[in-house]
Amino acid sequence: MPSLDPFFREWADRTLGQERSLDRAAALLRALGLCTERVPVLGVVGSKGKGSTATVAAATLSAAGLRTVLVTGPSFRSYRERVRVDGTSIGDFELDALGAKLDAAKAALPRDTGYLAPSGLFLIAGLLKARQIGADVCVLEAGMGGHRDELRLVEPEVVALGEIFAEHLGVLGDSVADIAWEKVRVVGERTRALISLPQSPEVSPVVARTLTEVTGGRMRPRIVDPDTPGVEPPTDLRPPGLSAASGVLGVAAATRMLELLDLPPAPAHRLRRVLGTLNLPARLSEHPVPGDPTARVLVDSAIDRVGVRTALSQARARWGDVDHVLLCLPDHKDVSGAIDVLQGLPVTAVRLPEAHLRFEHDLPPHWNHVDAEGLTPEVVTALGNRVLALGTVYFTGRMMEVLDAPTDRLFESD
């Protein structure tokens, strides 16, 4: 197992009230020479679907013949998954080597009142890996923020903006408009394009206005609508469910990056081949249960009414019906919406051990309850042959481990 101390030490040692330090992260980027010597970057922000967008963007760039480093988060079964080369996780030794480089550079930095966040350190590690292997481009997924995320320090050449809604309300802002303002301000001086999915009437003018303010009017958002006839990729190559829009955004952002690099778009036959190999864990991914090949689990990181309804519809379309639902939603997610959608189904509510997550929302009295640590293949099998597992990515990552699901390779590069 690799040492994770370089990535988590400062976060683990943080004191009450201490915040992440973008100033310290910027100093680390300078110390590593990544402000001047870095590959072109495609950054992904939004409220949901960032991982799918980033993965499809990286796959599209690979289909065009580019060597690509992809940084996403959180991981599912291993922190090696946070940094991938051409769709495949780096190895333990590689992650250790990147951590050692980070530690050596951090040792020379003056301390300030903030800490270096793990997500930012994995992002910087991805840039280091890209430089080390001579990659052509990096695809970097932001954390929950935009302006307050380390991605903003990198100033990505292309920004892919997913749908913005009330996720992290009260954390990133007091309204959806505030959240949009925060997300769009990931744009910097190097940014030359912002590709966006269609936004709500509340968000759309904020995106346009903020982009004008940040860039001095030199850029306007380019909207890609998944419902437009002929938009790439074809329907059969898009991820299932709500991730389909993320697939369209990923291809559009990658194609714009290729334009900026004076390169042609990915040939249609190569794009079809690479996208045909997509593996998106916990995005409506179906898996057998170890020890019982007749039992199947459909796993999805649905966190609200719409996501739960979509996942349930997908399960019924595949199986005809669902025997049981495992649901793990902390109180700050749309628990009430999930309860409404799942009426009449047998449900077991799952509680995670993370101290910062609260599970105190009133649940139907007939629902069962289980701690995440108690989930085993035998427990899942006992629920039936058709189990739908839904919830936060912390939970779906645990389900990947329980099911021994393959998570190291997201696509096969050309």
| CB distance 273 to 63 below 8 Å | yes
Between 148 and 318, whose confidence is greater?
Answer: 318
The answer on pLDDT for 167 being more than 70 is no
The pLDDT of residue 349 is: 97
DSSP state of 185: T
Average pLDDT of 157-166? Answer: 91
The answer on pLDDT for 175 being more than 60 is yes
The pLDDT of residue 166 is: 65
The answer on pLDDT for 172 being more than 60 is no
How far apart, in whole angstroms, are the C-alpha atoms of residue 272 and residue 317?
Answer: 24
Nearest CA to 46 out of 227, 138, 193, 172 is that of: 172
Average pLDDT of 119-127? Answer: 96
The pLDDT of residue 165 is: 78
The answer on pLDDT for 176 being more than 90 is no
Q: Residue 138's beta-bridge partner residues?
A: 41, 69
DSSP H or E segment with residue 223: strand 222-223
The structure tokens listed for 197 are 């999915």
The pLDDT of residue 396 is: 95
How far apart, in whole angstroms, are the C-alpha atoms of residue 186 and residue 145?
Answer: 8
| CB distance 383 to 324 below 8 Å | yes
The pTM for the full model equals 0.94
- Considering the chain, what is the average pLDDT of its residues? 93
The answer on pLDDT for 168 being more than 70 is no
Condensed to tens digits (0 to 9), the pLDDT of residues 185-243 reads 999 999 999 999 999 999 999 999 999 999 999 999 999 999 999 999 999 999 999 89
